[in-house]
Amino acid sequence: MENKIVAKNLNLWYGEKQALKNIDLDIKEKSITAFIGPSGCGKSTFLKTLNRMNDYVDNIRIEGDVILDGENIYADGVDTTILRKKVGMVFQQPNPFPMTIYDNVAYGPRIHGIKDRKTLDKIVEESLKDAALYDEVKDRLHTNALGLSGGQQQRLCIARCLAVEPEVILLDEPTSALDPISTLKIEELLMELKAKYTIAIVTHNMQQASRIADYTAFFLIGEMIEYGKTDDLFSRPQDERTENYITGRFG
């Protein structure tokens, strides 16, 4: 499997505090890669470097490279709007815009200049279908998205992300605010989406990583301690710190 994203010797500081230390990590295309580790280990920070969401943080300094399809996303002249169209993101709390379900999904395509109603209709329908939400909302596309349940709202956010045809989807603890059934629906959805997209997910739920991820990376105090196939990492971790964390002996 080809590498979609390659992080090379990536270092990141918030002011004086170093949050990422010499991270080298390849994300394989059309697969799910999970980042696990205790709070403050740098996993979310690392995820956000993959579409430069950290650019907005004050006093941040980043060294090293993040190569997406052979091009460094931190090179001069990179258009972050185009980057974030290609690398979409879904957050911990479902955050639909206070507008209709239809307008939520059409929001991105409209920003990118699509005005034709039929084209938008098609994008909205396909995105909602891909997010496994269409059947539940097809009769109320023009009602307010805030009326959806938490799980539906999160799938709407995924649909909104898919509507701009990304190649990579970053998810930062996307199910931590959801009930178990909604969580399983999102997990099933991600398993389907990996046929078309490259997915990277931060999760505190280790069972979730072991259920859905093809590859898992364990972070600790800004370092990536171990990275490999999920089956290997959860059955025969190579580093004692990984073993101790995943078996609940510290954290």
Q: Which parts of this chain interact with other proteins (CB under 8 A)?
A: 206-207, 210, 231, 234-237, 243, 246-251
What does the radius of gyration of the chain's CA atoms come to, in whole angstroms? 18
**Rounded distance between C-alpha atoms, residue 5 and residue 12, angstroms:** 17
Would you say 197 or 218 has its CB closer to other proteins? Answer: 218
Residue 106's nearest CA partner among 80, 140, 142 is 142
Mutual angle of helices 117-130 and 150-162, in 10-degree steps: 130
Would you say 31 or 210 has its CB closer to other proteins? Answer: 210
Q: Shortest gap between Cβ of 230 and other proteins (angstroms)?
A: 11
C-alpha 101: how far from its chain's center?
21
Q: Shortest gap between Cβ of 40 and other proteins (angstroms)?
A: 16
Would you say 56 or 250 has its CB closer to other proteins? Answer: 250
Would you say 106 or 246 has its CB closer to other proteins? Answer: 246
DSSP H or E stretch at residue 102 = helix 101-111
Q: Are 249 and 225 in contact (CB under 8 A)?
A: no
Q: Are 120 and 161 in contact (CB under 8 A)?
A: no
- Strands across the sheet containing 60-68: 17-28, 3-14, 60-68, 71-72
Would you say 49 or 242 has its CB closer to other proteins? Answer: 242
Q: Shortest gap between Cβ of 229 and other proteins (angstroms)?
A: 12
232's CB contacts (< 8 A; 6+ apart) are: none
Would you say 35 or 102 has its CB closer to other proteins? Answer: 35
- Strands across the sheet containing 32-36: 87-90, 168-172, 198-202, 32-36, 215-220, 223-229
